[in-house]
Amino acid sequence: MNGPWGFHELQDVGVSVLDCEHKTPPDAGAGHPYVAIPSLVDGRLELTSVRRITDKQFSEWTRRTRPQGGDIIVTRRGRVGDSAVVPNGLQCAIGQNLVILRSDGELVAQRYLRWAARGPLWEREVNRLRNVGAVFDSLNVRDVARIRIPVPPLREQQAIAELLRALDDKIEADRLAVPLVQQLTDACFLQWRENLRDPELTTFGEVAVIHGGSTPKTGVAEYWGGEHAWAVPRDITALSAPYLFDTERHITDAGLASIGNRLHPPGSIFMTSRATIGAFAVLQRPCAANQGFIVAVPKDVVHRWFLFHEMRSRVDDMLDLANGSTFLEISRGNFKNMLTVLPSSAELEQLHELLDPLHGWCAALTHEAARLTSLRDSVLPGLLSGDLQIRDAEKLVGEAV
């Protein structure tokens, strides 16, 4: 391994690997969180939909191993090697496919361990020790203890942990703000809609230009790997907020020409129209789409947020119009002919002036969180290996925040 630090097995540097034996409980509906593998998301615990256990279960199941604030939880099956930190003050139990890493602090700072258990160096060690199975891969507890991590001097560990924590706190603040702003935009729209005065009836096809999508031939290499974004439904369903900045795959000029040069402008509304009906995103860059979308391009900019929120509020109606033997799909024709209201120009302008800054702010928060996450993940391996100096990483972070 590269870098000036020594690499040592967890068991040799005072890091304990703690497990538990209980199985998945029935959901008590309230009480202490029961942390399972799906709860680990990007280094943190997502507790929104976890099972809950009673006080009695919590006391019994944590008698031997009780998670503490700052502990690192690591997965042993399926998503082998994923990790997350236990927040201070959280009283939870962990599932049988998870273990806890806890340092005695003499050679490895617990705050540093949070970051040593992430990134390419950690993944390489996990891959070295994983047991490949027919159904899922796994690590046993003894294997986890043999994972090697870089061990710089404690002062360096503290500096690395502090820099990455500050960056992660900013990412988390942005991430937590996004759904709150989204809720505000939804509430503003509903209140505005309730106050409409005698709106006329129209159709979605009258207030927007409606398009579908297409896929360049996958066997033609010259169509792929270009500069044009090209969306498939999973690009939308994977979003944490309904703003599309980029796509997994891109197509060339030739690929775009093969599907009619249909590059939709920023502000267009993408809606998934088959299998999963009603996942939405507003384009933040020009983008083409495959055939799994209905694309609504507002005829007037002041229609954008009315269309977006109105479409999202009508998903149940769209499902009623959907059909298909393999999967449900709503056709462009059925969507275009769906009735909707047509507010006055003054009312539409009022809504646009209200929602455009809020959506702009929310999109900016989403983009910043993604950008800072990319920066964090790019400096992490260099800091852990010692190839990137703290002062240089601090400069990068200072320029980005």
pLDDT in tens, 244-264: 999 999 999 999 999 999 999
Exposed, middle or buried by CB within 10 Å (0-12, 13-18, 19+), for 222?
A: middle
- Residues 49, 116: one domain? yes
Asked if the structure places residue 135 within a domain, the reply is yes
Give me the percent of the chain exceeding a pLDDT of 70.
Answer: 99
Q: How far, in Å, CA of 304 to CA of 359, rounded?
A: 11
- pLDDT bin (cut points 50, 70, 90) of residue 135 is confident
The verdict on 92 and 229 lying in the same domain is no
β-strand partners of 202: 340
Whats the size of the chain, residue-wise? 401
Q: Is residue 290 part of a domain?
A: yes
Can you give the pTM of this predicted structure? 0.87
67 with 145, same domain: the answer is: yes
Q: 133 and 207 share a domain?
A: no
Model confidence over 189-225: pLDDT tens digits?
A: 999 999 999 899 999 999 999 999 999 999 999 999 9
What average pLDDT score do residues 216-240 get?
96
Residue ranges making up the domain that contains 223:
200-342
What is the distance, to the nearest Å, from the Cα of residue 359 to the centroid of all Cα atoms in its chain?
Answer: 18
Any domain includes 322: yes
Same domain, 84 and 141: yes
pLDDT given for residue 2 in this prediction:
47
Asked, for residue 300, whether it belongs to a domain, the answer is: yes
Residue 401 pLDDT > 90, yes or no? Answer: no
Q: Are residues 30 and 129 in the same domain?
A: yes
Same domain, 15 and 144: yes
Expressed in percent and rounded to 5, the helix, strand and coil fractions of the chain are: 45, 25, 35
Based on the domain organization, do 217 and 284 belong to the same domain? Answer: yes
The verdict on residue 59 lying in a domain is: yes
What is the average per-residue pLDDT within 351-370? 97
Of 342, 366, 382, which marks where a domain is finished?
A: 342
Is the domain of 131 the same as that of 10?
Answer: yes
pLDDT at 3: 57
pLDDT in tens, 290-309: 999 999 999 999 999 999 99
Domain boundary, last residue among 117, 151, 185: 151
H-only helix segments in 198-314: 204-207, 233-237, 253-258, 304-313
Indicate if the pLDDT at residue 29 is higher than 90. no
pLDDT, tens digit, 9 for 90 and up, residues 146-164: 999 999 999 999 999 999 9
CATH number assigned to the domain comprising residue 106: 3.90.220.20
The pLDDT value recorded for residue 256 is: 97
Please name which of 99, 101, 98, 97 lies closest in space to residue 135, comparing C-alpha atoms: 97
Q: Are residues 320 and 232 in the same domain?
A: yes
Q: Give the model's pLDDT for residue 324.
A: 82
- At 376 the three-state DSSP class reads helix
Chain Cα centroid distance, residue 13 = 34
Tens of pLDDT, residue by residue over 66-110, are 999 999 999 999 899 999 999 999 999 998 899 999 999 999 999
Domain-located, residue 370: no
Give the whole-number percent of the chain exceeding pLDDT 90: 85
395 belongs to a structural domain: no
- The stretch 172-186 carries a mean pLDDT of 96
pLDDT (0 to 100) of residue 308: 98
In the listed set 311, 342, 373, which residue is the last one of a domain according to the structure? 342
| Same domain membership, residue 137 and residue 22 | yes
Is-contact 345 194, C-beta < 8 A? no
- DSSP character at residue 280: E
The pLDDT of residue 265 is above 70: yes
* E strand residue ranges, 264-394: 269-274, 276-283, 287-289, 293-298, 339-342
DSSP state string for 146-210: T-EEEE--HHHHHHHHHHHHHHHHHHHHHHHHHHHHHHHHHHHHHHHHHT--SPEEEEHHHHEEE
- Residue 111 counted as domain residue: yes
**Cα 356 to Cα 251: distance, rounded to the nearest angstrom:** 30
Number of domains in the chain: 2
Q: Domain check: are 145 and 245 in the same one? A: no
